[in-house]
Amino acid sequence: MTIEESAAEPRERTALPRRGAITRWAADLAMGARFAVTGGRESWARTLMTAIGVGLGVALLLLASSAPHAYHAREDRSAAREAYEPGNDTKPKAGPHTIRIAGGNTTFREDSIEGTLLAPDGNSPPKPPGVDRLPAPGQMWVSPALKKLLADHDLLRQRLPYRVVGTIADGGLSGPADLRYYAGVDAGVFGDAHAERVDHWGTEPPDQVLSPGVLLLVVVGCVVLLVPVLIFIATAARFGGERRDRRLAALRLVGADSHMTRRIAAGEALFGSLLGLAAGGLMFLAVRRLVSTVSLWDVSFFAADIRPSAPLALLIAVVVPASAVLVTLFALRGIAIEPLGVVRNATPRRRRLWWRLLLPVLGMGLLVPLAGGFGATSHSRDAETYQAAAGAVLVLIGTTALLPWLVEAVVERFGRGPVSWQLATRRLQLSSGTAARAVSGITVAVAGAIAIQMLFATVQDTQTKLTGQDPQRAQIGMTLDVDNGAQASAALAKYRATKGVRQVFGSVGASVAEARSKATSREDVDVQSITVADCPTLREMADIGRCSDGDVFLGKLSIPYEEEPDFAKPGAQVNLRLDHNGNVITRNPELWTIPRSTRTVTAKDDPQGAENSGILATPGAIDVARLSDPTAQILLRLDPRVPDAAEYARNTGAALTPVPDVYSLTSTTESGQFSAVRKGLFIGATATLLLIGASMVVSTLEQLRERRRLLSVLVAFGTRRATLSWSVLWQTAIPVVLGLALSIAGGLALGTMLLEMVNEPWTVDWTNLTLMTGVGAGVIGLVTLVSLPPLWRMMRPEGLRTE
């Protein structure tokens, strides 16, 4: 034998066992897959339950991985349909390729309708996305959702009196529930202040930088929504563990060693998870087709938008089967499978506590360095985001990992009680892990929800601003340009005759300048406001005391500022002639003398939250027709007993002008970022809660199927059905109570740390905390109620039959 042959021989000898190991693994995994398919009704039942459980989790993971693409698709379409707004120096001039546009937005009940009025300047104007031709005057294109809404409501048809000539295609809509229209009008209806001239459509999607609080809310929200899904997938991989272990013991009897049985069990779990992947894909496709028919919190998506990214889909396809195999091998690590049985019926050794406490401690260790400085600098945001996500994951998983130890530590101290109690506690003492796994998803969900609620309440305070408006004093407002007092009076008369309007506060405002001023530019001359209204309306603006038609008042701010003009005094003359840009017209001025009987009063906040200083006059003191560029301000107090009173008022505004500026008064307003995040979290929470409910039903049914023969034996020996029903309830209730207590503690700890990260004070909404805890308990109660009919069926004597 040569030296080269001697050197090559060891390599050949070491390569053979490696190929043999791979072959053995493949053969044993394939045998486990065959057992899952050909092992009889029990094997098929377990495999189907595992596939359904894993499939539910996979479907939600695929939906979650589709969220970024769906969001960006909506943003891109929304940006593409926005009119391009150039700077003042580059505004296009009228030509064959330009079009004038104005907003025609309105609200119908709770729905916001976006509209655009179009008046082309030439014969080849740009068309907005989704339409193949511009509507002629009196015509409009509508979205499918708005077309249906118009067909159902005559009130809305009266407000949009245009003839529908086409339906906007998907490319021009943010989603299938988008309410939008494009209406053609004559250019003469546009005032200079109402329309913009553009030569093309489309803008860049806004590049928004989230505030630290909102960013942390997004990160923790994603963690809280996805961790229960991952936990449930791991739980589903262990369905039917006891029956599987007994089958593995039979394999030991015919010669299989312990390593081979573990590989066979891994193969069975792998097949179930692969079947679950396929089932999850089918569920995802089914849900994807239904997405376009559902709208949650005014957000909707086209089915084509729901598309997971390839890397995330590939990651799900790899991680889910791998986690099923790892969970199975980990579960078998503490079980002795012998030829004559499984050493599982003996009292198990106590669970170790140290590593369960290590997880939340490590999580807090990642979060503590971020206290007070999360998201402060843009260059460190990415690293801090991953650090915060990892810390939240460890805290939540650590909270869940503590549950089996807590259940075991508590139930071993239970003693005497009714028969149902003893049956339940004995079952928990023998196998507390199964019961703990069944409620682990709801535990982590409630813990995360509590933490999010604490952060959510604080972020909501910072992202919600007070408008100063008082919806108790007036509910609808409108701004209307008028040429003279007759138009203002006619508008007020129409509103007073509108159904559902209890009181009208109408005023006409303009600006005046000092009569002796020679300057013309607004920057060089002081101007003062003048408001003409009746006495009831003026009382909403200032403390005027006694009032009759013909009176004039000078409103002073409660906290005056230094630059406030003081030329408007009793007996002084003012110039009423100003153009629409605020420049004073000194040639042939329109002079008016402020009466010497004018009283000075203190201005107060009107229903819109504004202080009205300056000249406050009644119609008998000055003719509104003398004012230059007047604007009518109308506030309406509605009759709450009249349904759709606000809609009648909006219809009146649409009849007065094609470009109505009608709005509802509200006391608060939210930032767009926070509103979008809040809607996304609510949608995700709804989907997660549905998954948790469905997963718990599957888990409970699997546990009942495992104990079907035992239940039948107990009934055959005379145990009452009510006793067994109560025992099932106790078996569920005890882990639930312990899990909810643990989730409250973990949620408060995580929420406290999150508040420290954004440097906000500690606060808890105990009402919402109680509500979330009650929702978690309610889900458990509902699942138990759903499981009672299958439980009663499994108590029949047929359960004693075996094959």
Tell me what pLDDT residue 163 has. 92
Higher pLDDT, 395 or 691: 395
Is residue 368 in some structural domain? Answer: yes
pLDDT: which is higher, 443 or 277: 277
Same domain, 76 and 87: no
* Position with higher pLDDT, 674 vs 100: 100
Return phi, psi of residue 553, to 5°.
-130, 155
Q: What is the mean pLDDT of the chain?
A: 77
* Residue 799 located in a structural domain: no
**Same domain, yes or no: 653 and 535:** yes
pLDDT tens digit sequence for 473-515: 888 988 887 777 778 888 888 999 999 999 999 888 888 888 7
Do 577 and 632 fall within a single domain? yes
688, part of any domain: no
The reported pLDDT for the residue numbered 772 is 67
Phi first, then psi, for residue 555 (nearest 5°) are: -85, 125
**Predicted confidence (pLDDT) at residue 347 exceeds the cutoff of 80:** no
Q: Which of 181-190, 191-200, 414-423 has the lowest mean pLDDT?
A: 191-200
Residue type, 362: L
The two structure tokens encoding residue 469: 């408006």
Specify whether 484 is located in the same domain as 576. yes
Q: Which of 59-68, 489-498, 680-689, 760-769: highest mean pLDDT? A: 489-498
Residue with the larger pLDDT of the pair 430 and 531: 531
Residue 554 lies inside a defined structural domain of this protein = yes
Q: Among 11-15, 218-222, 253-257, 416-420, which stretch is predicted with the lowest mean pLDDT?
A: 11-15
Q: Are residues 167 and 295 in the same domain?
A: no
**Which of 327-336, 373-382, 412-421, 579-588 is predicted most confidently?**
412-421
Q: Alpha-carbon distance 89 to 72, whole Å? A: 31
What DSSP string runs through 394-411? Answer: HHHHHHHHHHHHHHHHHH
List C-alpha distances in Å: 740 to 409, 423, 491, 677: 16, 23, 60, 26
Q: Which residues pair with residue 603 across a beta bridge? A: 542
How large is the average pLDDT for residues 81-100?
Answer: 73
Provide the pLDDT for residue 713.
Answer: 75
**Model pLDDT, residue 2:** 40
For residue 134, report the phi and psi dihedrals to the nearest 5 degrees: -80, 145
pTM, full prediction: 0.69
Query: Are 231 and 362 part of one and the same domain?
Result: no
Identify which of 13-17, 432-436, 510-514 has the greatest average pLDDT.
Answer: 510-514
Angstrom distances, CA of residue 658 to CA of 138, 377, 770: 11, 47, 50
Q: How confident is the model at residue 381 (pLDDT cuts 50, 70, 90)?
A: low
pLDDT of residue 9: 43
Q: Which of 345, 375, 407 is the last residue of a domain?
A: 345
- How much of the chain exceeds pLDDT 70, in percent? 75
* In a domain? residue 398: yes
| Predicted local distance difference test score (pLDDT) of residue 308 | 87
Q: Is residue 115 part of a domain?
A: yes
pLDDT value at position 616?
92
Two tokens at 226?
């996805």
Residues 291, 338, single domain; the answer is yes
End position of a domain, from candidates 198, 229, 257: 198
The reported pLDDT for the residue numbered 167 is 93
Whether 700 contacts 732, CB under 8 Å: yes
Per-residue model confidence (pLDDT) at position 5: 43
> Are both 656 and 772 inside the same structural domain?
no
Place of tokens 């511009």: 134
pLDDT digits (tens, 9 = 90+) for 438-456: 677 777 777 777 777 777 7
**If pLDDT is split at 50, 70 and 90, which confidence band does 164 have?**
very high
Query: Quick one: pLDDT at residue 240?
Result: 56
SS3 114: strand
- The residue with greater pLDDT, 104 or 374, is 104
Across the range 146-160, mean pLDDT stands at 91
* Other Cβ atoms within 10 Å of 523 Cβ, number: 7
Q: Tell me the average pLDDT across 739-749.
A: 85
Query: Which of the listed ranges 170-184, 334-348, 557-571 does the model predict with the highest average pLDDT?
Result: 170-184
Answer yes or no: are the C-beta atoms of 262 and 329 closer than 8 Å: yes
Contact 794, 711 (CB under 8 A): yes
Q: Which residues constitute the domain of residue 303?
A: 25-82+211-345
Task: State the DSSP code for 76.
Answer: H
Q: Which of 81-90, 328-337, 468-477, 783-792 has the lowest mean pLDDT?
A: 81-90
Range with the largest mean pLDDT of 87-91, 302-306, 634-638: 634-638
Within 13 A of 172's CA, how many CA atoms are on the CB side?
24
* Under 8 Å between Cβ of 63 and 245: no
Do residues 317 and 357 both lie within one domain? no
The CB-side HSE value for 686 (13 A sphere, CA atoms) comes to 9
16 within some domain: no
Please tell me the least confidently modeled range out of 376-390, 411-425, 739-753.
Answer: 376-390
Q: Which of 103-112, 163-172, 239-248 is least confident?
A: 239-248
Predicted pLDDT at 498: 92
Q: Which residue has the higher pLDDT, 18 or 387?
A: 387
Which residue did the predictor score with more confidence, 209 or 234?
234
Q: Which of 345, 375, 392 is the last residue of a domain?
A: 345
Q: Rounded CA gap, 271 and 246, in Å? A: 19
**Dihedral pair phi/psi, residue 778, rounded to 5°:** -65, -40
- Identify which of 78, 300, 97 has the alpha carbon closest to the alpha carbon of residue 205: 78
Burial class of 10 by CB neighbour count within 10 A (0 to 12, 13 to 18, 19+): exposed
Amino acid occupying residue 137: P
Q: Give the mean model confidence (pLDDT) for residues 110-117.
A: 88
| Total domain count, the chain | 4
Residue 428 is assigned to a structural domain of this protein = yes
Whether 392 and 358 share a structural domain: yes
pLDDT at 3: 38
- Same domain for 363 and 297: no
User: Looking at the structure, do residues 519 and 555 belong to the same domain, yes or no?
Assistant: yes
How many CA atoms are closer than 13 Å to the CA of 312, on its beta-carbon side? Answer: 15
* pLDDT at residue 345 in the model: 43
